[in-house]
C-alpha cells in the first residue's frame, strides 16, 4: 500500500463505579510500585522493573502528552477509526499518562473505559466512567471474555510487548462479538519525500544507534504494518485495514494542521531525546554520558532546521 500523499511544503516560521462482571485485573497499588528505579537523574517504573526502556518522570510524561497531540493532529484529529457508534466498554493498553483514555471517556460518557500500564502515572481526577489499573499486558489477562467493544494501543512500537501475536490472541478473546482492535503505531525512523534528510546527519546517526540498541535487547522498535495485519489475521480477526498518515518534524508543512502537528513533534523530539535513548545508549551500548549528551545537542540543533522535510510514518 502507498503510505499517503506527499506533504506540501510551506513557509517556515519562528516560532467511578464499574460492574464487577468486568473481571477486574486490578492489582493493589502498594508502596513498592512507587519505589522507582533512578538512573542518571531519571526515574523508571518499579512494577516489573527494567521491562520498559523509557523513564516515567515528569519530563517523560510531558513528552508523552506532546506526542499524543502530535499524533492526533496528524491522524485527522480522531481518537480512533474503528467504526463503533455507541461503545459501552473500551480498553486502552499501555495508557501512559491516560490522556487518550480521558479524551475517549469524555467523548463516550456511556462507555466504561479502562486504561492499563506498568506505571501509576495517571491523574486521580478523571471522568467518572474511567479507571486505571497497574498491569502487564504480556501476562495472561484476567478480563472476562467478550468484555470490550474496542481495545486500543498507541505508540507501543515493539518496545514494550514481548509478543504481539499473543497480545492479539488475548485481545480477540476479550472483545465482544463484532468488537474491534486498533493499533495506532509508528515507525521511529524518519522519512522524507524530497530527499532532504542528510545521510550523514546527526539524527540519522542517533537513529542508527537507537535501532542497534533496541535490537540488542531483543526488540524491533518499529511498527511493520504488513506484519501487524498478518498477526491480526492469525489471531482470528477479519475486516483488517491499515490507514497511513505522516507526522511531520517541524513547521515546514503548508497545511495548518500538519504544521501544528509538526511543531508538537519537533518539541517532543528536542525535549524527549534524552529519555528516549539514555538507557539504551549508556546501559546497552556503553556510551560515555558526556559523549551521549554531546550527540543530543547536535541532534537538537538539526531538529530545528526547517529545510529538512522529514516525518514519522504512522
- Residue-wise pLDDT for 205-254, tens only, equals 999 999 999 889 888 777 889 999 999 999 999 999 999 999 999 999 99
Mean residue pLDDT of the chain comes to 86
Residue 30 has pLDDT above 50, yes or no: no
- Residue-wise pLDDT for 254-294, tens only, equals 999 999 999 999 999 998 899 889 989 998 999 999 999 99
Contact 44, 52 (CB under 8 A): yes
Axis-axis angle for helices 58-74, 99-107 (nearest 10): 50
Name which of 246, 247, 243 is nearest 261 in CA terms.
247
What does the pLDDT read at residue 218? 83
What does the pLDDT read at residue 16? 39
Q: Tell me the domains of the chain and their CATH numbers.
A: 20-313 (3.40.50.150)
First and final CA of the chain: distance in angstroms? 13
Between 48-57, 177-186, 264-273, the lowest mean confidence (pLDDT) is in: 48-57
Residue 3 — very low, low, confident or very high, per pLDDT cuts 50/70/90? low
Distances (CA, A) of 300 to 20, 279, 283: 49, 18, 22
State how far the Cα of 115 lies from the Cα of 132, in Å rounded to an integer. 5
Helix H, strand E, coil C: the string for 192-236 is ECCCCCCCCCHHHHHHHHHHHHHHHCCCCCCCCHHHHHHHHHHHC
State how far the Cα of 280 lies from the Cα of 286, in Å rounded to an integer. 8
- Residue-wise pLDDT for 77-117, tens only, equals 999 999 998 999 999 999 988 999 999 999 999 999 999 98
The cell numbers describing 48, all together, are 516489573
State how far the Cα of 312 lies from the Cα of 314, in Å rounded to an integer. 6
What does the pLDDT read at residue 38? 61
Average pLDDT over residues 143-153: 97
State how far the Cα of 210 lies from the Cα of 202, in Å rounded to an integer. 12
Amino acid at each position: 500500500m502507498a503510505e499517503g500523499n506527499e506533504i506540501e511544503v510551506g513557509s517556515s516560521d519562528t516560532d467511578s463505579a464499574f460492574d464487577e462482571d468486568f473481571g477486574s485485573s486490578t492489582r493493589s497499588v502498594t508502596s513498592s510500585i512507587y519505589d522507582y528505579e533512578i538512573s542518571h537523574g531519571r526515574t523508571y517504573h518499579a512494577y516489573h522493573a527494567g521491562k520498559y526502556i523509557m523513564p516515567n518522570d515528569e519530563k517523560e510524561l510531558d513528552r508523552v502528552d506532546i506526542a499524543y497531540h502530535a499524533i492526533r493532529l496528524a491522524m485527522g484529529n480522531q481518537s480512533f477509526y474503528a467504526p463503533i457508534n455507541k461503545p459501552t466498554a473500551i480498553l486502552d493498553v499501555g495508557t501512559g499518562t491516560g490522556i487518550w483514555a480521558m479524551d475517549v471517556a469524555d467523548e463516550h460518557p456511556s462507555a466504561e473505559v479502562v486504561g492499563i500500564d506498568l506505571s501509576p502515572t495517571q491523574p486521580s481526577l478523571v471522568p467518572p466512567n474511567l479507571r486505571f489499573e497497574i498491569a502487564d499486558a504480556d501476562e495472561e489477562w484476567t478480563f472476562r471474555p467478550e468484555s470490550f467493544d474496542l481495545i486500543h494501543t498507541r505508540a507501543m512500537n515493539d518496545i514494550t510487548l514481548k509478543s504481539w501475536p499473543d497480545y492479539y490472541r488475548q485481545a480477540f478473546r476479550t472483545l465482544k462479538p463484532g468488537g474491534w482492535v486498533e493499533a495506532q503505531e509508528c515507525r521511529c525512523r524518519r522519512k522524507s519525500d524530497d530527499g532532504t534528510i542528510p545521510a550523514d546527519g546527526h539524527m540519522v546517526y542517533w537513529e542508527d544507534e537507537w535501532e542497534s540498541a533496541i535490537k540488542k535487547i531483543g526488540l524491533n522498535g518499529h511498527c511493520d504494518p504488513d506484519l501487524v495485519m498478518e498477526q491480526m489475521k492469525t489471531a482470528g480477526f477479519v475486516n483488517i485495514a491499515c490507514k497511513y498518515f505522516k507526522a511531520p518534524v517541524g513547521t515546514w508543512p503548508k497545511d495548518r494542521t500538519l504544521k501544528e502537528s509538526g511543531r508538537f513533534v519537533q518539541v517532543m523530539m528536542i525535549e524527549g531525546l534524552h529519555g528516549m535513548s539514555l538507557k539504551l545508549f549508556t546501559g546497552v551500548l556503553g556510551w560515555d554520558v558526556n559523549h551521549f549528551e554531546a550527540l543530543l545537542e547536535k541532534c537538537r540543533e538539526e531538529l530545528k532546521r526547517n529545510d529538512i522535510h522529514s516525518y514519522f510514518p504512522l
